[in-house]
Amino acid sequence: MTHLVRGRQELAAARKVLPGSVGLVPTMGALHKGHLANIRQAKARCESVVVSIFVNPMQFERADDLERYPRRLADDLAVCEAEGVDVVWAPGVPDVYPNGPAQVWVTAGELADQLEGPNRPGHFDGVLTVVSKLFARVAPDRAFFGEKDYQQLTLVRRLVADLDTDVEIIGVPTVREADGLALSSRNVFLSTEERRQALVLITALRTGRDAAGNASAVLEAAGTVLAAAEGVDVHYLELRDPQLGRAPASGPARLLVAASVGATRLIDNLAVELTG
Ligand SMILES: Nc1ncnc2c1ncn2[C@@H]1O[C@H](COP(=O)(O)OP(=O)(O)OP(=O)(O)O)[C@@H](O)[C@H]1O
Ligand SMILES: CC(C)(CO)[C@@H](O)C(=O)[O-]
Ligand code: BAL
């Protein structure tokens, strides 16, 4: 049976009696099949699984985005129960920030100023700060993050490497709808027409990947698809190496895109193989 805990002491008591290796799946709730893939990986690789559900105010740079973020704790609990999750930790803001907003933050460094950065100033500092706090409270052996948020996953890997945090980070491949749209909690905001328009993100990424050429061939193929799209405001299309440094001349790379469809900002990315 899944144990729902709220406060720090309740969590500490539940954590103390968890047997074996502990996997943490950090989420902001409104669980969908993408989260399920993370939970199932955790179940497969750890004896005990903790899912955290916390909409972290410190990583939202727009009050309206924070306010309208979907919250569905009763449904989320039922999902965790069905998946055999041991503990759901759903703290309130004062449980995570008992002294008010954190004064000391983790700063994400120069990668946080790129890709998602310019659109979301301060976002990754907020993410890495809360992830550090979740790690400190739960003390997991492993933590699971989706490749859908590829920049976040990359920065969390840097967090544990740079700050000597003893948590193994596992990246989980992006779960998609049958037509290719990456599952995201924010998809619920798309109208039927926007849902159709949103497919251009994955179409562009796949077209770039299938161009199977050098960096400019991949970017041109993907860019042509985006340029022809209606109702979609493209924020960036970028090709990087798998750690999000400069794209290599050949070999493994990552193609990343962000775009607004109506009022909803979506991101996606795909592995590509460059041939020089
Ligand atoms: N489609 C997906 N496939 C795999 N993992 C995913 C997917 N979508 C989200 N995740 C992962 O689930 C974890 C929790 O993400 P979160 O609760 O923010 O959901 P989300 O769908 O990414 O929401 P949003 O996109 O609106 O921020 C993150 O590690 C995220 O990368
Ligand atoms: C990792 C995370 C739970 C931190 O709040 C959040 O950024 C998310 O859901 O991806
Ligand atoms: N899924 C990444 C967290 C966010 O969009 O705020």
pLDDT per residue as tens digits for the range 110-155: 999 999 999 999 999 999 999 999 999 999 999 999 999 999 999 9
Binding site membership of 56 for ligand 2 (Cβ less than 6 Å): yes
Q: Where are the alpha helices (DSSP H) in 29-182?
A: 33-45, 63-68, 73-83, 93-96, 123-138, 150-162
Please provide the average confidence, as pLDDT, over all residues in the chain.
97
**Which residue type occupies 157?**
R
Where does 185-274 sit in CATH, by number? 3.30.1300.10
pLDDT per residue as tens digits for the range 33-76: 999 999 999 999 999 999 999 999 999 989 999 999 999 999 99
CB 87 within 8 A of CB 3: yes
Q: Is 28 annotated as a binding residue?
A: yes
pLDDT per residue as tens digits for the range 79-105: 999 999 999 999 999 999 999 999 999
Q: Which residues of 121-146 are buried (b: 16+ CB within 10 A; e: fewer)?
A: ebbbbbbbbbbbbbbebbebbbbbbb
Neighbour tally for 243: CB within 10 Å? 10
Q: Where are the domains of the chain?
A: 3-172, 185-274
Q: Is 29 annotated as a binding residue?
A: yes
pLDDT per residue as tens digits for the range 236-265: 999 999 999 999 999 999 999 999 999 999
CB 175 within 8 A of CB 183: yes
Write the burial class of residue 205 (CB in 10 Å: 0-12 exposed, 13-18 middle, 19+ buried): buried
pLDDT per residue as tens digits for the range 170-201: 999 999 999 999 999 999 999 999 999 999 99
In this structure, the residues whose C-beta lies within 6 A of any atom of ligand 3 are 59, 149, 152
On whether the 3-172 domain is CATH 2.170.190.11, my answer is no
